[in-house]
Amino acid sequence: MSGHAFSYICTHCKYEEYYKQGHGYLVKPQTYAEYKRTNQKLFHYEIHNKIVKLSKVHPGLVINATFQVYKCPKCNLLHNKIQVTLTDGNVSLHTNRFKCSKCRSKLRLTNIHRLKRATCPNCGKSGFKRQDLHDRLWEK
């Protein structure tokens, strides 16, 4: 299993950060039995508790976990988070939501291929841009 990491560099201060998108070694679609076997607190405790609770009434529960890039609509900062969507068959039971660590606005899921510019987390200017050449595969 592998995903992509996308490099963003600030045109003002040269600060660089990688954002992961896709599946990793543990962050991937999995059944509750698989999730329990890894015996790790992969996610935030709230979503973990939701998984445990739903598994009791949904034996076919699938935990769809994937790295996603979110953007704050207010301050334009990027946030790399693990999106967890809980499904049973074709029924979507729950999706986790995130808030901006800076301004507490609700984050929006972004398509990193279309996202051109964001706010630099280092200097706060809006010159944070994706570097096409530095995209790389990662395994984790």
Binding site for Zn ion (CB under 5 A): 10, 12-13, 15, 72, 74-75, 100, 102-103, 105, 120, 122-123
Cβ distance to Zn ion smaller for residue 31 or 80:
80
Cβ distance to Zn ion smaller for residue 4 or 12:
12
What is the amino acid identity at position 11? T
* Nearest distance from C-beta of residue 127 to Zn ion, angstroms: 6
* Nearest distance from C-beta of residue 85 to Zn ion, angstroms: 23
* Nearest distance from C-beta of residue 23 to Zn ion, angstroms: 27
Q: Taking a C-beta distance cutoff of 8 angstroms, is the pair 87, 105 a contact?
A: no
Cβ distance to Zn ion smaller for residue 65 or 77:
77
Q: Counting Cβ atoms within 10 Å, is residue 31 exposed (0-12), middle (13-18) or buried (19+)?
A: middle
Q: Taking a C-beta distance cutoff of 8 angstroms, is the pair 15, 122 a contact?
A: yes
Residue 115 C-beta-side C-alpha neighbours within 13 Å: 26
Cβ distance to Zn ion smaller for residue 36 or 106:
106
